[in-house]
Structure 1
Amino acid sequence: MIIRSIETFQVAVPLKKAFKTALRTVTVAEAIYIRIQLDNGREGFGEAPPTHVITGESMASIQFAIEEVFKPLLIGKDLRYHEQLFQSLHRSMVHNTSAKAAIDMALYDLLAQEAGLPLYQYLGGARSELITDYTVSVNTPIEMAEDATRYVRDGFHILKIKVGIGEIEEDIKRIKAIRKAVGLDIKLRLDANQGWTAKEAVRAIGQIEDELLNIEFIEQPVLAHDIEGLKYVTDHTLTPIMADESVFSIYDAKRVIEMRAADLINIKLMKAGGIYQALKIASLAASHDMKCMTGSMIETKLGVGAAAHFAASQSNIIHYDFDAPLMLKEDLLKGGIQYEGSKITFDTAPGLGIERINKGGN
């Protein structure tokens, strides 16, 4: 189980429709794919998307971290001593969490393959299928209502509504238009992507509650570093508040939990640096009876698949935001997770179940 080679290659897939949030607009999903090969011929795959406004990474920085730092560190090492490998990976450089996540998921892919188990079973196997939401990008209230109606028609019963751009009144109009369009049976959750101040968030959420718009929870209402502001919102509203960009590491999670600054945490592999660290965050949250969500950046089915396997392995991860591959014009992979409307199922093949990368992989 000696690591023989690590290859990287770039991919880019256009989105069906521009993805707009309070932080950015995306029209093309870019990523670095990696392939790690062992001396026995097994191959493990990973993905790292550049998300400048969240992780601070670019395609160039991801490429550099993998080729110049991680590759020399790992080639020739024995995967059987993987605890040491993961610790070395995370000590080798600060930040660069998406680059670390790509290496991490490829190593876990290989470990599960060697065990002869799908990755979610190798990690714990809490459940065998997931239900994802679908995200409604920020646009005019009319356009967002039309998009929401289409997603419901396509079989999605949980919608994640992007807000946080412009005046609070405009966000309220967006939410009301969507609720009117889809009815009361559809679950709505909001994501402000740091777009509000603490007082704006309390005012907006108070109005949402007063108008009985029935929101499941609200994600990252304030700036990532403003943990006191996050706590202020949590303390002064009834709707559950979720920390996303505020939590990259187990140390971030510890601070949020100890301050009671949020009710929920969104664990993303690209923030945590991969499954190894994400498991620690999930375990810490579970020890405080805190439920979590797992989501993704704008990723292909490779990165999202790894996140889905992780999420399915942990009993306290009960919310899933894995719609990114459905936003893309094509699927670069054969194998991996499968979608049937909002339902995600896992291949019985060991590891991530990736059979082939259709572009650039072979």
Structure 2
Amino acid sequence: MKITAIKAWQVDLPLKEGRYSWSNGNFVDVFDTTVVAVETDAGITGYAECCPLGSAYLPAYALGVRSGLQEIGPKMLGMDPTNLGAINRHMDAVLRGHNYIKAPIDIACWDILGKQTGLPVYTLLGGAAQEKVALYRAISQQSPEEMAAKIAGYRAEGYTKFQLKVGGNADEDIARIRACRAILTPSDILVADANTGWTRAEAARVVSAVADLDVYIEQPCMSYEECLSIRHRTPRPFILDEVIDNVGSLVKGLADDAMDVINLKISKVGGLTKAKLMRDLAVASGIPMTIEDTWGGDITTAAIAHLARSTPEEFCFSATDFNSYVTISIAEGAPVREHGFMTAPDAPGLGITPRLDVLGTPALHIA
């Protein structure tokens, strides 16, 4: 089997809540996502999706996905998409860095492998380790009262895990954390995610002020070293996200006892092949994970669900159903949230079928 063509579509995904806000005043009203198709001479096509969270979250941006595909796409033609090791080694050889650009090609190749073998991707990733996956809900940064009210609404929908977007003014963030923890039950999980937004001094103030609360602290500062400093100052469970972006950073974090949980984003690390490697290393090291991505719609949610479903429950801290945040469906067969849980499709591959009428005309066609 050989890759004969790569196509990409640009799709706007408006948010149901109208706006998503996180640290340092960053926000997105409409997500710019890229849907990728990898076509083969066997008549099997694999699909994937890549949707960066704007351009101020990670070294990634929406136009970069499509620009990068133009660079790397022609160099993938003629390769066997089911030889995932060779695919990833070749991508790394012909394009240094830019993991988010490589991710949709890798994911689409997993979709092809699943369709060729008649197996769902979660089986290829190690087999079903849980039947349904617990989800968290991200709470966009607003006033303490508004964020607490949103948590109350989402609790009624079945969520029990919540990620507050903090990383702003320290006094306001302390109030946000306290207001939201106050309306939760003892068994509910609350994560205060600063998305690198605090200085070390601000982070030190916040973790001291909420030391009496049951709350996880996530990625308080920009650098790994700053986060490690805050880790040493608080007994609260600690999550690292943005600075854990490859196997090397995970190994370093494990050696330094830098975290209790990691946030494993599929496109951040380069696709399902590298995410599986990091997942397996984290499981072997006793580190739970939030399994998700930077953003996306139905196809991204399906990829998340397959990786999460093949992860043992005790190491799957939570996952994300991004398709429930947006107003447009781009694929049939995608996971659907039920009472705070989702599961991966049992159909071959990712188990989704893109809605070509929604995707429209490809923005990119490499053949």
TM-score range, shorter chain: over 0.9
Measured on the aligned residues, the alpha-carbon RMSD in Å equals 1.8
Match of 1:67 in 2: 70
- CA change 1:159–1:236 in 2 (3 A) is same
Q: How far apart in 1 are the matches of 2:133 and 2:145? A: 30
Unaligned stretches of 5+ in structure 1?
A: none
Q: State the match for 2:132 in structure 1.
A: 129
Aligned amino acid, residue 261 of structure 2: L
Q: Distance in 2 between matches of 1:92 and 1:119?
A: 26
What pairs up with 1:196-345 in 2 under 5 angstroms?
196-210=198-212, 213-215=213-215, 217-223=216-222, 226-315=223-312, 317-345=315-343
How is 1:97-176 mapped onto 2 (pairs within 5 angstroms)? 97-125=99-127, 126-166=129-169, 168-176=170-178
Cα 1:289–1:48 shift into 2, 3 Å: same
- Number of residues paired by the alignment? 355
Structure with more contact order per residue of length (Cα contacts < 8 Å, sep ≥ 6)? 2
Partner of 2:365: none
Q: Distance in 1 between matches of 2:177 and 2:36?
A: 40
* Worse overlay, 188-197 or 287-296: 287-296
Identity %: 28
Whole-angstrom distance in 2 between the partners of 1:128 and 1:86: 29
TM-score by length of 2: 0.91
Q: 1: CA distance between counterparts of 2:27 and 2:326?
A: 14
The partner residue of 1:76 within 55, 78, 90 is: 78
Comparing 247-256 with 100-109, which one deviates more in the overlay? 247-256
Q: 1:361 to 1:36 in 2, by over 3 A?
A: farther
Q: Which residue of 1 aligns with 2:87?
A: 85
Deviates more, 1:237-246 or 1:256-265: 256-265
- Secondary structure class of the residue paired with 1:340: coil
- Is the CA contact (8 Å cut-off) linking 1:338 and 1:346 kept in structure 2? no
Q: Which moved more, 1:58-67 or 1:117-126?
A: 58-67
- 1 CA distance for matches of 2:168 and 2:48? 33
Counterpart residue identity of residue 152, structure 2: T
Residues in 1 aligned to 2:181 and 2:82: alpha-carbon distance in whole angstroms = 52
The answer to whether structure 1 residue 55 and structure 2 residue 58 are counterparts is yes
Q: Tell me, what secondary structure is at the counterpart of 1:359? A: helix
For residue 146 of structure 1, report the CA deviation from its aligned partner.
Answer: 1.3
Give the partner amino acid of 1:261: A
The answer to whether the 8 Å contact 1:86/1:104 transfers is yes
